[in-house]
Amino acid sequence: MTLPHPYHFIFALGVVWGAAWVIADSKLTLPFRNGAAAAFGEDTWPMDLLECPACLSFWLGLAAGGFMHMGFFGAIAFGLFACGTSFVLAALTIGVNHHE
């Protein structure tokens, strides 16, 4: 098994982080999340996972690791790394006021 080039990791992390935040917290996907809440209920575990960017980063990272042919443990490691990256990037960006 050969690992992808480092820039593939960086690109995949950016895609995972962006997709997780768009799905979990964007106005673009609010109708989808509202429909999911109507189907599953607002206080259920599927909604908790759907509206948690770090949780989504793990699952999307796991899928990205699979698409990059990293093997079972490599995909899990990439999912965990994507989740941790999501926490770090959220800590750096939350609370930043862009309208000052």
Structural contact between residues 44 and 55, judged by C-beta atoms closer than 8 angstroms? no
Q: Which of 15, 7, 3 is nearest to 86 (CA)?
A: 15
Q: Which of 40, 43, 46, 39 is nearest to 23 (CA)?
A: 46
Contacts of 78 (CB under 8 A, 6+ apart): 9, 12, 61, 62, 64, 65, 68, 70
Tell me: the pLDDT tens digits for 58-88?
999 999 988 888 889 989 999 999 999 888 8
Distance CA 88, CA 81 (A): 11
Which residue type sits at 54? Answer: A
Ranges of each domain in the chain: 6-93
Q: What is the pLDDT of residue 99?
A: 52
Tell me: the pLDDT tens digits for 8-43?
888 888 899 889 989 988 889 999 999 999 999 888
